[in-house]
Structure 1
Amino acid sequence: MASQRGNLTLVETYLTHGDERLRGWPFMDSPVPVLTVFVLYLMMVKQGPKMMEQRKPFQVQGPMVLYNLAVMVLSIYITFEKLISAVQSSYSLKCQPVDYSDDPRAIRMLNASYWYFISKIIELLDTFFFIVRKKERQITFLHVYHHAIMLLHTWWFVKFVPGGQTFVLGFLNSFVHIWMYAYYGLAAIGPHMQKYLWWKKYLTKLQLFQFVLTSSHALYNVCFGDCGFPRLFSLSSVIQSAIFFSLFMNFYLQAYKKSKTS
């Protein structure tokens, strides 16, 4: 059964409603829960600032520090689990099919992939903290698009291809988020920490490098992959990585290049 499951075509995978091992897991039986979260998130983005117009900013320094620390620890866990699972399973960086079996190594990758999706729900709190602190200027198109699309994109990947070729995307993104939320956590402690946060622009460079790696890795599978991993998912990774690269590059140029000339 496991070997037959691994050889299903993309259409057959859809007809069987995704990875059967995820049956009964929160958010995974139907797209309705994640779409509900998606809609509620957009409503928060739209209505949240309006609700705060006549209110003073909330003081949430303590919760923010704890939140960023928690997301950083979760990112460390996901990064470690994905790496160990891939190494133990002798993953190929060129092309790697998804192992849909109940092998402990495959289940370990499945768990790491699922928690990667859960982290995308948790990270929506980034926007909530901006709203309650009345930092609306930081709720940019890049910010909202990144959080909203990653929520849906990650659910789609975990639902149908939790592992395999997608390992690189989740691994790199979680690794970057270790440093990103470490930065946010330190910044949340207070202004006196700014002298230790000189590496902010290098964090953006790391994000840009991540998109180059993920798009290149996925593009290779689109063009040359022969392991049976569905090219549609790799093509989606290429497109999203390219979009993110352009958006983050624009942010980098706006934030750092213009500041040098002003």
Structure 2
Amino acid sequence: MIISSLQYWLVNHPTILHFSWTQGQTPASTPLFLSLILISYLSLTYILSHHHLHAIPIHILKPISALHNLTLLLLSLIMAIGCTLSSLTLTHPPNYNYIICFPPNTSPSGPLFFWAYIFYLSKILEFGDTLLIILTNSIQRLTFLHVYHHATVLIMCYLWLHTSQSLFPVALITNALVHLVMYTYYLLCAMGVRPKWKRLVTNIQIVQFVFSFAISGLMLYHHFTGSGCSGIWGWCFNAVFNASLLALFVDFHAKSYANRKKMMMGPGPKDKGS
């Protein structure tokens, strides 16, 4: 009963079933929109982070932060379930190679691309992460990694739709699951609970990027041994982006947790002086 209801509301509902991405007609589908939203994000981030803002009382910010994180947590869960169900019922009988490699000239329509579209729009909502960092005066958290990640991932998601990119269902599901964990962590923090598994959030993001390269090997095999996979140029952008994120996350992990370990161990012989 539950599966049937989910199947209808997340796959077979007419809005989802008959979705079609048409550049210039689908809301937020034009390169101009993408450019303006990115310029606005980067400009506002720079301006707000370089101007002293009046402190907002913590009792106001915490509920806003909790609501933001809860919204993205639930949205991540829905997207993961919706895309998974759409992938399982994509072909009859199920052809899981299709999820890895869309045939050339695949039309960006149907349930899978509907969830890619929702995922794309959700990345705009995630700009709220940056605003909350600025409003809480946690400027040290406003790193290059944070801004680069939030801005460039929007381009990646746009290309998923624009190029009908193969492999995006796997990327969407894994990323949504990672964000489910991440926004659960931040929701608990906003509620005054400090989970001890902060490191897990970084670790699973690194695992996600490694997994993406592993599964990409399978897609490339299908691409070069078959008739080709749709959206290969979009995948190339995705691969370069993921490689850069992997390097940045590994660097962040090394610096954050190595320094913390060093602080916990106390000064070594060289730090004590003569």
Provide the TM-score with structure 2 as the length reference.
0.79
- 1:207 Cα deviation after fit: 0.6
Partner residue, 1:201: 199
Q: Write the letter of the residue equivalent to 1:183.
A: Y
Give distance in 2, aligned partners of 1:155 and 1:101.
15
Backbone CA RMSD of aligned residues: 2.1
Could you give the per-residue CA deviations for residues 30-71 of structure 1, whole angstroms, max 9, x where no partner exists? 1111211100100111100233x1522453111110110000
Evaluate the alpha carbon distance shift between residue 134 and residue 87 of structure 1 in structure 2; reply closer, same or farther with a 3 A threshold: same
Q: Contact 2:66/2:190 (CA < 8 Å) preserved in 1?
A: yes
- 1:97 Cα deviation after fit: 0.5
- 1:149 is the counterpart of 2:137: no
Could you give the per-residue CA deviations for residues 160-193 of structure 1, whole angstroms, max 9, x where no partner exists? 216x421111111111001111111111112xx1
Moved over 6 A (4+): none
1:177 corresponds, among 155, 179, 187, to 179
Partner residue, 2:210: 212
Give distance in 2, aligned partners of 1:22 and 1:118.
13
Q: Which has the larger Rg?
A: 2
Partner residue, 2:129: 126
Partner residue, 1:17: none
- 1:243 is the counterpart of 2:271: no
Partner residue, 1:79: 80
Alignment of structure 1 residues 1-262 onto 2, 5 Å: 21-23=20-22, 24-28=25-29, 30-51=30-51, 53=52, 55-59=54-58, 60-89=61-90, 90=94, 91-92=96-97, 95-97=100-102, 100=106, 107-161=110-164, 164-190=166-192, 193-194=193-194, 197-225=195-223, 226-229=226-229, 230-262=231-263
Evaluate the alpha carbon distance shift between residue 58 and residue 143 of structure 1 in structure 2; reply closer, same or farther with a 3 A threshold: farther
Q: Write the letter of the residue equivalent to 1:97.
A: F
Structure 2 SS opposite 1:26: coil
* Aligned positions, number: 233
Q: Write the letter of the residue equivalent to 2:26.
A: W
Give distance in 2, aligned partners of 1:222 and 1:235.
11
Structure 2 SS opposite 1:56: coil
Q: Contact 1:221/1:231 (CA < 8 Å) preserved in 2?
A: no
- 1:224 Cα deviation after fit: 4.7
Unaligned runs of 5+ in 2: 1-18, 264-274
Q: Write the letter of the residue equivalent to 2:186.
A: Y
- 1:228 Cα deviation after fit: 2.5
- 1:212 Cα deviation after fit: 0.5
Structure 2 SS opposite 1:22: coil
Q: Contact 1:79/1:175 (CA < 8 Å) preserved in 2?
A: yes
Percent identity over paired residues: 24
Q: Contact 1:57/1:134 (CA < 8 Å) preserved in 2?
A: no
Q: Contact 2:116/2:161 (CA < 8 Å) preserved in 1?
A: yes
**Which deviates the most, 234-243 or 137-146?**
234-243
Provide the TM-score with structure 1 as the length reference.
0.82
Structure 2 SS opposite 1:187: helix
Give distance in 2, aligned partners of 1:219 and 1:38.
31
Give distance in 2, aligned partners of 1:54 and 1:67.
20
- 1:227 Cα deviation after fit: 5.0
- 1:110 Cα deviation after fit: 1.5
Partner residue, 1:9: none
